[in-house]
Chain A
Amino acid sequence: MSPLERFQDAFLNAEVLARYAPAILDGVWVTLELSLLIVVLGTLLGTALACLRALEIRALSLAIIVFADIFRALPPLVLILIAYFGLPGAGVFLSAWTVLLVILGLVLAAFAEEIVWAAITSVERGQWWAARSTGLGFGQTLAHVVLPQALRLAIPPLTNRAIAITKMTALGTVIGVPDILNQATTAQSFSGNASPLLLAALAYMAIFLPLVVFSRWLESRLTWVRA
């Protein structure tokens, strides 16, 4: 075999690709489902925490800051391993899938809280006063006046962060979640061939490249507000 043929055989082996494509497709659904749930859980929880922080109750704000700092400072894989291997010993039994969803959801929530909070504080104080003086309550001011302006600022960084964290669903492989990467590494070790890994890389590209391009476009559309 010439070097080129050997390369083709190792990375573009049609027979291996055909045999393992269905398994990798199964992995695609797992990755997509988890990604979607993580984004929903993370952004909703993060925004809710940022709103709670706007109440300016000292103990509550402090607790939120400590949570956000810890989940932003620790590597997600460390948190995943602690939860997956530690919780059963403490009498809590969660599946690998649930652990991945909860931990990555909390990590995204921590970042989302900081991003939304920064956006809330960047809305001028006068907006609060003006809204309150028209008779709106605290919650109404937040929901109808401040958040709409803040979220516009928050969306570009939030999108970038959400992409970075949904990419981490690949870490589920380490604890046995049957996502794209897991299916591919299993197929690679069964077949003794690297083609499934290339297929997995292509699957990730198909999911995330449009999102990366979208985030670039979003950034150029929405950042004029800051200038």
Chain B
Amino acid sequence: METIAEQFFNLEIMAAAWPMVLDGLWMTLALCVVVVPLGLIGGLFAALGVLSERRWLRLPTIAFVDLFRALPPLVLLIFVFAGLPFAGLDLSPFAAVVIAFFLNNAAYYGEIFRAGLISVGRGQHEAARSTGLSARQSLVYVVLPQATRNVLPDLVSNTVEVVKLTSLASVVSLSEMLHMADMARSVTYNASPIVLAAGVYLVILWPLVRLAGRFERRVAA
């Protein structure tokens, strides 16, 4: 029992590792601020493409979405980071993470927006058009707000997944929270710094997990 406390919950080591973990936290948050909005925008366009009546737009978008839902994010990240330099594209770890996660997140958010757009009845669009709104206006002011509301729980839970995904950036040595905690772990030969980082992830993500669950029950009711 004492060895478990010593190995996972060593307060002295946690206190010493805290400044490093905190440094990493800022990088994690910076990544989220870049990656979440990019994924949402990409996902919206992906959904519009998948639902488009134009074949030349629809088929490639479906292929894009399925391709990036099938590739594990870490494989994508390593391909972008370690593979693209061979094609003459040298990317910083931050840029590689942003590109790889954009492709992955756009595909996932895209599937959610697609479900949302389908859930809004065709009549809404037609009614909006008949009041004189253009196709774009009726999408932005009438259909999209309802579509977003209908899939809000899924958007929140996918955002939880995106935040969790940022931990993969540690593999390409981006100094985000898990990477900093793991460095502290390798210096101290003790898992407590990673447990500390896990605590920070929990503080950020537990409310979101609960929130998604609450939304779900309300939508179902």
List residues of A whose CB falls within 8 A of some B CB: 6-7, 10-11, 69-70, 72-79, 81-82, 85-86, 89-91, 114, 118, 122, 163-164, 167-171, 173-174, 180-181, 185, 188, 193-194, 197-198, 200-201, 204-205, 208-209, 211-213, 216
Whole-angstrom distance between the alpha carbons of A81 and B196 in the complex? 12
The answer on a CB contact under 8 Å between A201 and B185 is no
In the complex, what residues of A have CB within 8 A of residue B208's CB? 73
The answer on a CB contact under 8 Å between B164 and A211 is no
The answer on a CB contact under 8 Å between B3 and A90 is yes
Q: Which residue of the partner chain A has the closest CB to B7? A: A89
A-B contact count (CB 8 A): 138
Q: Mark interface residues in B188-206 (1 if CB within 8 Å of A CB, else 0).
A: 0111001101100110011
The answer on a CB contact under 8 Å between A89 and B198 is no
Segment of B29-37, B39-47, B75-83, B123-131 in the binding face:
B75-83
Between-chain CB contacts (< 8 Å), 24 pairs: A72-B209, A73-B209, A74-B205, A77-B178, A78-B201, A81-B191, A85-B191, A89-B7, A89-B191, A90-B3, A90-B4, A164-B161, A167-B71, A168-B74, A169-B72, A170-B72, A181-B75, A194-B82, A197-B83, A201-B71, A201-B79, A204-B72, A209-B66, A209-B67
In the complex, what residues of A have CB within 8 A of residue B170's CB? 77
Whole-angstrom distance between the alpha carbons of A11 and B87 in the complex? 8
Q: Say which residue of B70, B78, B197 sits within 8 Å of A212 (CB atoms).
A: B70
List residues of B whose CB falls within 8 A of some A CB: 3-4, 6-8, 66-67, 69-76, 78-79, 82-83, 86-88, 160-161, 164-168, 170-171, 178, 182, 185, 189-191, 194-195, 197-198, 201-202, 205-206, 208-210, 213, 216, 220
The answer on a CB contact under 8 Å between A81 and B201 is no
In the complex, what residues of B have CB within 8 A of residue A81's CB? 178, 182, 185, 191, 194
For the residues of B in contact with A, the DSSP-based class is: helix
Whole-angstrom distance between the alpha carbons of A198 and B87 in the complex? 12
In the complex, what residues of A have CB within 8 A of residue B185's CB? 81, 85
Q: Say which residue of B75, B76, B164, B171 sits within 8 Å of A74 (CB atoms).
A: B164
The answer on a CB contact under 8 Å between A69 and B206 is yes
In the complex, what residues of B have CB within 8 A of residue A7's CB? 87
Given A77-B168, A90-B3, CB of A82 within 8 Å of CB of B194: yes
The answer on a CB contact under 8 Å between A78 and B197 is yes
The answer on a CB contact under 8 Å between B8 and A76 is no
The answer on a CB contact under 8 Å between B198 and A198 is no
Given A10-B87, A69-B206, CB of A212 within 8 Å of CB of B195: no
Q: Smallest distance from the beta carbon of A209 to chain B beta carbons, Å?
A: 4
Q: Say which residue of A75, A91, A193, A209 sits within 8 Å of B178 (CB atoms).
A: A75
Whole-angstrom distance between the alpha carbons of A81 and B179 in the complex? 11
In the complex, what residues of B have CB within 8 A of residue A194's CB? 82-83, 86-87
Whole-angstrom distance between the alpha carbons of A216 and B75 in the complex? 22
In the complex, what residues of A have CB within 8 A of residue B8's CB? 82, 86, 90
In the complex, what residues of A have CB within 8 A of residue B160's CB? 72-73
Q: Say which residue of A6, A197, A209, A216 sits within 8 Å of B82 (CB atoms).
A: A197
In the complex, what residues of B have CB within 8 A of residue A11's CB? 83, 86-87
Whole-angstrom distance between the alpha carbons of A73 and B195 in the complex? 14
Q: Smallest distance from the beta carbon of B162 to chain A beta carbons, Å?
A: 11
